[in-house]
Amino acid sequence: MPSVPERVRLVEVGPRDGLQNEAFSVPTDIKIAFIDALSQAGFPAIECTSFVSPRAVPQLADAEEVMRRIARRPGTRYLALVPNERGLERALAAGCDALALFAAATDAFSQANIGVSIDESLQRYATVAVRAKAAGCWLRGYVSVAVHCPYTGPVEPQRAVEVARRLAELGCDELAVADTIGKAVPDEVARLLEALLRWLPAERVAVHLHDTTGRALDNVAVALAYGVRTIDAAVAGLGGCPFAPGAPGNLATERLLDFLEARGYDHGIDRRALERARTLLWEAIPGLARTDSPTAQLGSQ
């Protein structure tokens, strides 16, 4: 009998990580329609929004309304970021049951991103995690700048691993290591995963790759070789973190699907439905920055 293709789980981050850095306000109705269209495409997880201060990220000031109004598809996990207890309270009130915590592998990036050191951020998350778990929430932990930091340069794998370990100890069910500025090369990703997988099983690990230098798919190949089967991507390479200079865009979902299909992996995404989601966004917002190119610049991340 023919073998069953191995499944790779895609986490679509376009609605949050993709849209957060756009210079103009994306209407709430468009965000909701976009997320609903992605649900119809069959993504097992969608990163929808963030409950940060509206002053810090005005684009996501409508987080409550977005999370209340999206049509939740059975089998899809709808993620929202929470930076602190106030963000957690807002998220729980909006009906969220899957949350993400963000930490960084360097203090410089942590200070630029959330205004506190690594240790301070993890102390803050300790209470958040306890309350989130008590409310029945699934938790994802992100380790930003796990390979390169825009402020301090290359990051030793053990520094990122230590942050991931501490997030796991707080109760995070999944740990996503991020090449936030897209400078990682395959050997560096291999060293990071080798160190991380010594104590954390591959099924609890995800990779979040940016495509600044066009090496994201090379790094996906490394992750797959190490047994990692959860990969973040954004429709058409949307993306941008205002706190990471030099990282313009995420790995494009479409390119990732092509890559996986060419290598015989199953991803479960309806390509026609995905195209409808992308078209909906482009028609609603003609000036939206986007690209399918691995090197085109998308913004300020």
Catalytic residues: 241
Q: What is the pLDDT of residues 7-40, one digit of tens each?
A: 999 999 999 998 887 777 889 999 999 999 999 9
Looking at residues 278-287, what average pLDDT do you find? 81
Task: Please report, rounded to a whole number, the percentage of residues in the chain having pLDDT higher than 70.
Answer: 90
Helix (H) or strand (E) segment spanning residue 47: strand 45-50
Average pLDDT, rounded, for the chain: 90
- Domains along the sequence of the chain with CATH: 9-284 (3.20.20.70)
- β-pair type (153-154, 148-149): antiparallel
Looking at residues 60-86, what average pLDDT do you find? 96
Looking at residues 215-227, what average pLDDT do you find? 97
Q: What is the pLDDT of residue 21?
A: 75
List the alpha helices (DSSP H) in the chain: 28-41, 63-69, 85-93, 107-114, 118-134, 157-169, 186-196, 216-225, 253-262, 271-284
Task: Please report, rounded to a whole number, the percentage of residues in the chain having pLDDT higher than 90.
Answer: 78
Judge contact between 163 and 102, C-beta under 8 A. Answer: no
Cα torsion angle, 118, 124, 130, 136, sign: negative
Question: How much is the pTM?
Answer: 0.92
**Helix, strand, or coil (residue 270):** coil
Greater model confidence, 208 or 213: 208
Residue 94: partners with Cβ closer than 8 Å, 6 or more residues away: 51, 63, 64, 67, 68, 80
Looking at residues 255-270, what average pLDDT do you find? 97
Q: What is the pLDDT of residue 3?
A: 59
Residue 183: partners with Cβ closer than 8 Å, 6 or more residues away: 147, 148, 212, 213, 246
Looking at residues 157-166, what average pLDDT do you find? 98
Residue 297 reports pLDDT greater than 80: no
Q: How confident is the model at residue 287 (pLDDT cuts 50, 70, 90)?
A: low
Residue 237 reports pLDDT greater than 60: yes
Q: What is the pLDDT of residue 69?
A: 98
Beta bridge partners of 103: 143
Q: What is the pLDDT of residue 60?
A: 93
Q: What is the pLDDT of residues 92-110, one digit of tens each?
A: 999 999 999 999 999 999 9
Judge contact between 77 and 44, C-beta under 8 A. Answer: yes
Residue 240 reports pLDDT greater than 60: no
Residue 52: partners with Cβ closer than 8 Å, 6 or more residues away: 60, 81, 83, 87
Looking at residues 269-289, what average pLDDT do you find? 85
Q: What is the pLDDT of residue 243?
A: 46
